[in-house]
Amino acid sequence: GEDVEQSLFLSVREGDSSVINCTYTDSSSTYLYWYKQEPGAGLQLLTYIFSNMDMKQDQRLTVLLNKKDKHLSLRIADTQTGDSAIYFCAESGAGLTGGGNKLTFGTGTQLKVEL
Amino acid sequence: GAGVSQSPSNKVTEKGKDVELRCDPISGHTALYWYRQRLGQGLEFLIYFQGNSAPDKSGLPSDRFSAERTGESVSTLTIQRTQQEDSAVYLCASSSRPESLYEQYFGPGTRLTVT
């Protein structure tokens, strides 16, 4: 079945770049996503990338996809204290009855931004 | 506009009791998903509703879990005879189109604790 893995913790200094890594096993994934979860809040979709793309940039966020190695990364430039959260990598897995797609999530990476 | 809402935000119950969790999707969203997030883990897909189609129940962990949805509105997830391993945050997401692979909007979740 599908499996998505991430490292559990990352600590960076404010103003530095953060790079959060993810590996996945399902080679048929069509979309890969990064979600952000702040304490007490629901998941917020940050960005996504289609599997035939290598890179996507959106303001301070850069997503890199190495489809051969099934490796996805999220780079946050000029990391701020407000970026402290848990970041989840997810891939769109099997289609569901009636349409729609099940998302398979990694365990999440806790990003801590220090002053 | 209003996002996905869930109630209660927190629920503590005794082992063996039944619980009912509620999700109000974004108005007009035809697709609705339930996920479970255990402590320190990623989200696990539970069940998916799309309009009047039969739900995809492929993620339900046991027959103690069931869910209903009235048309394209509120959904309830019921867990019968709760066990301690059911303790988790239960998240609901909705989407405007089932084939939309990047538009799952998540609610804040219900934290269930089984004592």
If one counts every other C-beta atom within 10 angstroms of the C-beta of residue B114, the result is: 19
Structure confidence at residue B4 (pLDDT): 93
Contacts of B18 (CB under 8 A, 6+ apart): B78, B79, B80, B81, B82
List chain A residues with CB under 8 Å of B45.
102-104
Tokens describing residue B50: 């799309």
User: A98 to chain B: which residues are within 8 Å by CB?
Assistant: 48-51, 53-56, 98
What span, in angstroms and rounded, lies between the C-alpha atoms of A111 and A108?
9
Q: How confident is the model at residue A41 (pLDDT cuts 50, 70, 90)?
A: confident
Angstroms from A62 CA to nearest CA on chain B: 17
Q: Residues B94, B96, B98, B100: what is their CA dihedral angle, to the nearest 10 degrees?
A: -100
Average pLDDT, chain A: 89
Q: Which two tokens stand for residue B21?
A: 């969790």
pLDDT for position A9: 95
- From the candidates A28, A38, A45, A96, which should be mutated to test the interface with B, based on the most B CB atoms within 10 A? A96
Burial (0-12, 13-18, 19+ Cβ within 10 Å), B67: buried
Interchain proximity B43–A100, CB inside 8 Å: no
Grouped pLDDT means (10 residues each) for chain B, 115 residues = 89 98 93 90 88 88 95 93 97 78 82 96
Q: What is the pLDDT of residue B25?
A: 94
| Average pLDDT value for residue range A89-98 | 74
DSSP E strand boundaries for B1-115: 5-7, 10-13, 19-24, 31-37, 43-50, 65-69, 75-79, 88-95, 105-106, 110-114
Cβ of A80 under 8 Å from any chain B Cβ? no
Average pLDDT over residues A5-15: 94
**B-contacting residues in A 40-59 (Cβ below 8 Å):** 40-45, 48
Most confident of A2-11, A25-34, A78-87, B65-74: A78-87
Average pLDDT, integer, range A43-67: 92
Check residue A57 and give its pLDDT.
94
User: Chain A within 8 Å of B54 (Cβ-Cβ)?
Assistant: yes
